[in-house]
């Protein structure tokens, strides 16, 4: 069964492997299969679920809400996010203004079928809204009981520090950061993780298998597997394209003996690797089939010996992205609406 870790310095425990429905529910996977994946997660001991209003333009929240109906709410931890545009994409239909945050939380609660979310996250940093306005709006949600904790996603270390200072003044529990993190994408290690440790925040990381690259199913010099994310024109292919060079795919294949030595699949090795970082509270997994959930949760509780962690670094060499400026470079410079 999947074990738990504390989220930052709060008293909230989350599964060290949580279930997320970013690229699947409401878009790539039929609802019946999506519900089966959520139930497989529950069967595996996962009680922590991550989503966002923008996923499949609100459909992902609806599907998750339907799948969790009938479960004891107190036993679940539900995370969602706001920032990106949904609906008609009017001038106030995105960002982190007081208006958009208020409207977004009410829509998310309705779709999820709950009175509150456990962690409400700023999905990106809003350059057009004063941070004081954003944090005060989040504080109001906490005091209204609509959110218990606050988090951010893909914020720089400087942005996290500024938000945490305001959160402390407002007595709001800002406890988490949700960045991309994997063996191949390590840009948070230099600045975001040290800042988070200092501030009592921890990471909830997405894409621990690098969009599927670290599963080893993509072979150098070979056609892309039929039905894989790399062939999905709904969005998956755009995300994975940067990893499809032969040098990366060749290096990934050299990780297979490490996985074999530990008795793990390649995907389990990738998930276990991010969980070795003591500032990572949880790794988000998705699934298009229930059996994927059952396999990936086996990474919970795995400890990779130091010598094998060093071997992984040697195998990958300078291929992983480590530049901390890539977080800011990949963020919107203006509101996307």
Q: Where are the domains of the chain?
A: 4-329
Least confident piece of the model among 106-110, 177-181, 243-247: 243-247
What contacts 244, CB < 8 A, 6 or more positions away?
A: 213, 218, 224, 230
DSSP string across 168-208: HHHT--EEEE--B-SSSB-TTTTTHHHHHHHHT-EEEEB-T
> Per-residue pLDDT averaged across 92-113, rounded?
97
Report whether 236 contacts 230 (CB < 8 A). Answer: yes
**Burial group, residue 272, by CB count within 10 angstroms (0-12, 13-18, 19+):** buried
Tell me: pLDDT of 229 over 70. no
Q: Does domain 4-329 have CATH number 1.10.357.10?
A: no
Q: What CA–CA distance (Å, rounded) separates 52 from 96?
A: 14
What is the per-residue pLDDT for 240? 77
Residues forming the active site: 55
Whether the per-residue pLDDT at 230 is higher than 80: the answer is: no
Calculate Rg over the CA atoms of the chain. 19
Q: Considering the entire predicted model, what is its pTM?
A: 0.94
Tens-digit pLDDT profile for residues 136-195: 999 999 999 999 999 999 999 999 999 999 999 999 999 999 999 999 999 999 999 999
16-71 pLDDT, tens digit each: 999 999 855 555 567 788 899 999 999 999 999 999 999 989 999 999 999 999 99
């Amino acid at each position: 069964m999947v074990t738990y870790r504390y989220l930052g310095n709060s008293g909230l425990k989350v599964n060290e492997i949580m279930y997320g429905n970013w690229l699947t529910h409401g878009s790539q996977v039929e609802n019946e299969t999506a519900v089966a994946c959520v139930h497989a997660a529950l069967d595996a001991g996962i009680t922590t679920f991550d989503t966002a209003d923008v996923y499949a333009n609100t459909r992902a929240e609806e599907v998750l809400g339907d799948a969790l109906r009938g479960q004891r709410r107190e036993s679940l931890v539900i995370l969602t996010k706001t920032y990106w545009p949904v609906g008609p994409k009017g001038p106030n239909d995105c960002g982190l203004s007081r208006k958009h945050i208020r409207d977004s939380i009410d829509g998310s609660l309705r779709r999820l079928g709950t009175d509150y979310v456990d962690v409400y996250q700023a999905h990106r940093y809003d350059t057009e809204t004063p941070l004081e306005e954003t944090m005060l709006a989040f504080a109001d949600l906490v005091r209204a009981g609509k959110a218990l904790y606050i988090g951010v996603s893909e914020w720089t270390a400087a942005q996290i520090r500024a938000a945490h200072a305001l959160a402390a003044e407002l007595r709001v529990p800002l406890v988490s950061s949700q960045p991309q993190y994997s063996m191949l994408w390590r840009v948070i290690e230099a600045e975001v993780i040290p800042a988070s440790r200092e501030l009592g925040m921890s990471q909830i990381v997405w894409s621990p298998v690098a969009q599927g690259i670290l599963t080893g199913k993509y072979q150098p010099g070979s056609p892309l597997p039929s039905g894989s994310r790399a062939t999905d024109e709904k969005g998956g292919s755009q995300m994975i394209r940067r990893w499809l060079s032969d040098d990366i795919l060749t290096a990934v294949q050299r990780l297979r003996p490490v996985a074999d030595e530990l008795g793990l699949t390649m995907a389990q090795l990738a998930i276990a690797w991010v969980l070795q970082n003591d500032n990572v509270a949880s790794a988000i997994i998705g699934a298009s089939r229930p059996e994927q959930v059952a396999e990936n949760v086996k990474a919970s509780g795995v400890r990779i010996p130091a010598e094998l962690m060093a071997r992984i670094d040697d195998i990958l060499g300078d291929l992983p992205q480590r530049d901390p400026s890539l977080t800011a470079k990949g963020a919107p410079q203006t509101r996307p609406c």
